[in-house]
Amino acid sequence: MLRLPALLLLLSLGSVCCPPGVLSGLPLGSRRGPPGRAQPPRAALYQTRYFPQKIDHFGFDQDLTFQQRYLVADQHWRKNNGSILFYTGNEGDITWFCNNTDSKHLNYLTSEQALADFAILIQHLKETIPGALNAPVIAIGGSYGGMLAAWFRMKYPHVVVGALAASAPIWQFEDLVPCGTFYTIVTNDFKKSGQRCSESILNSWGAINRVSSTDEGLKWLSSAFHLCSPLKSKQDVAVLKAWLSETWVNLAMVNYPYKADFLQPLPAWPIQVVCKFLKNPKLPDKLLLQNVFQAANVYYNYSGAASCLNTSQSATRNLGLMGWYYQACTEMVMPMCTDGVNDMFEPRKWNFHVFSEECFKLWKVKPRPSWIPSVYGGKNISSHSNIIFSNGGLDPWSGGGVTRNITDSLTAIVIPEGAHHLDLRASNPSDPKSVLQARALEVQYMKQWIEKYRHKH
């Protein structure tokens, strides 16, 4: 987390129910994406507070409120002349959500409501925290929270003087970027991390298909992958493949230069470790698949504690992700596709129709794929100002991010050696130079925004 000399750090935890910062990789059966926060807040450093927030900012029928949870870290707060960093959160307590999981309540789980929550909360805080009334506020967020940070500055420039949108794929919508970009970047990460590594994964799909075509093969696969539930049908095999795809995607997102425990406990540069098992794509099917198991095991069992692997573990339907599933089925429609040529995955086209029908079955809602570009401007955002878009070159989400300067005050930072919002993580001796430079530049921009604000007031 970035720190400015005198700051009040506010972490706001989502809207209505608190969608984790995950993004859809739906076409491969995976909806799990990047978590939104670099590190869990340490209890001692943060106070937890609640604010009664309108359930619906945009209608008056519903006058109900919910208790929005937020965290305040004021140990660096300077009453006179302080600044506020407002973290546009993407995780949180889903108890309320869990108890109210029908689409009537989900109806208010939108980015627009979240931004309105932020605006009202900040106003409340400025009015109630001594010295905060005229303090400049900067929005910071990563992943979905990064999108919210950018959109917040666009729609509420009177509330925040600027925004740091880290690994925020605001262009992963409609045809703003090619649907294959995401999985191409994942593939490149594997290409760079070990000779013939991506080729091995590309070949593994055919191997799975061939081996799983007999009952004996299904049994062998279940055992070779140490699966908790043995494979019984073609559909189970599809789930296995989706689970593997998601594993490679997640590894790309958390391909950090040091040992970390984010999605899973992992070694430094985990893809390099994975690729050590994937050097020979031409092996016979079963040998290749045994290696694939070893590779996947790096992700799921680096600690050595798992007795078997659960293919529903990562594409889990746990309630913490249900909010995002709903959002992906309404506003956050992110087209993705693979072709097996530019990427190492089985070819799958983006089929909005199928996607839409699945959404309707699940939630009785119809996705509106053009809404996000309509409301937030798509690529036509040059009239806004004071947003930093930071991207990791290794992060598949950078494909839908802003990686080139749009104007003098809508600037892009690319961290070539960075995975998913590496810049927001705590500093580490193994941090590459590029992320140190990125952080320094981010602080420099923030200082400029603050100075300009103070000059005006």
3-state DSSP call for residue 297?
Answer: helix
Pick the piece of the chain touching a copy of itself (CB under 8 A) from 114-122, 203-211, 216-224, 251-259: 114-122
Q: Determine the Cα angle at 356 with ends 350 and 361, to 5°.
A: 135
Is 312 designated active site?
no
Minimum CB–partner distance for residue 13 and a copy of itself (Å): 20
How large is the angle between the packed helices 181-193 and 234-253, nearest 10 degrees?
A: 70
Going by DSSP bridges, is the β-strand pair 410-415/387-392 parallel, antiparallel, or unpaired?
parallel
Minimum CB–partner distance for residue 90 and a copy of itself (Å): 20
CB atoms within 10 A of CB 18: 25
Nearest to 28 by CA among 315, 326, 372, 358: 315
Binding string, 348-387, against a copy of itself, x = CB under 8 A?
A: ---------------x-xx-x-xx--xx-xx-xxxxxx--
173 binds a copy of itself (CB under 8 A): no
Minimum CB–partner distance for residue 169 and a copy of itself (Å): 18
108 binds a copy of itself (CB under 8 A): yes
408 binds a copy of itself (CB under 8 A): no
CA dihedral 399, 167, 31, 97 (to 10 degrees): -150
Minimum CB–partner distance for residue 366 and a copy of itself (Å): 6
For a copy of itself, which is the closer residue by CB, 115 or 260?
115
Task: By CB under 8 A, name the one of 40, 44, 104, 455 that touches a copy of itself.
Answer: 104
Binding string, 42-71, against a copy of itself, x = CB under 8 A?
A: ------------x-xxxxxx-x--------
- Determine which one of 74, 117, 236, 395 is catalytic: 395
For a copy of itself, which is the closer residue by CB, 232 or 352?
352
Nearest to 90 by CA among 40, 55, 43, 31: 40
Nearest to 263 by CA among 201, 320, 323, 338: 320
For a copy of itself, which is the closer residue by CB, 56 or 285?
56
Minimum CB–partner distance for residue 454 and a copy of itself (Å): 14
Minimum CB–partner distance for residue 428 and a copy of itself (Å): 36
Which phi and psi (to 5°) does residue 203 adopt?
A: -75, -20
Report 124-163 residues binding a copy of itself (CB under 8 A).
155-158
Task: By CB under 8 A, name the one of 81, 99, 103, 437 that touches a copy of itself.
Answer: 103
CB atoms within 10 A of CB 302: 17
140, 162 contact by CB (below 8 A): no
404 binds a copy of itself (CB under 8 A): no
330 binds a copy of itself (CB under 8 A): yes
- Determine which one of 57, 384, 420, 421 is catalytic: 420
What residues contact 104, with CB distance under 8 A and at least 6 apart?
Answer: none
Is 420 designated active site?
yes
3-state DSSP call for residue 213?
Answer: coil
Residue type, 433: K
For a copy of itself, which is the closer residue by CB, 88 or 247?
88
Is 408 designated active site?
no
Minimum CB–partner distance for residue 448 and a copy of itself (Å): 14
Which phi and psi (to 5°) does residue 151 adopt?
A: -65, -35
For residue 86, list its beta bridge partners: 10, 139
3-state DSSP call for residue 141?
Answer: strand
For a copy of itself, which is the closer residue by CB, 154 or 344?
154
For residue 142, list its beta bridge partners: 166
What residues contact 85, with CB distance under 8 A and at least 6 apart?
Answer: 2, 3, 4, 7, 8, 9, 10, 137, 138, 140
d(CA 150, CA 165): 6
For a copy of itself, which is the closer residue by CB, 225 or 389?
389
- Determine which one of 143, 212, 390, 398 is catalytic: 143
Binding site for a copy of itself (CB under 8 A): 54, 56-61, 63, 103-104, 106-108, 110, 112-113, 116, 119-120, 123, 155-158, 330-331, 363, 365-366, 368, 370-371, 374-375, 377-378, 380-385, 456
Active site residues: 143, 395, 420
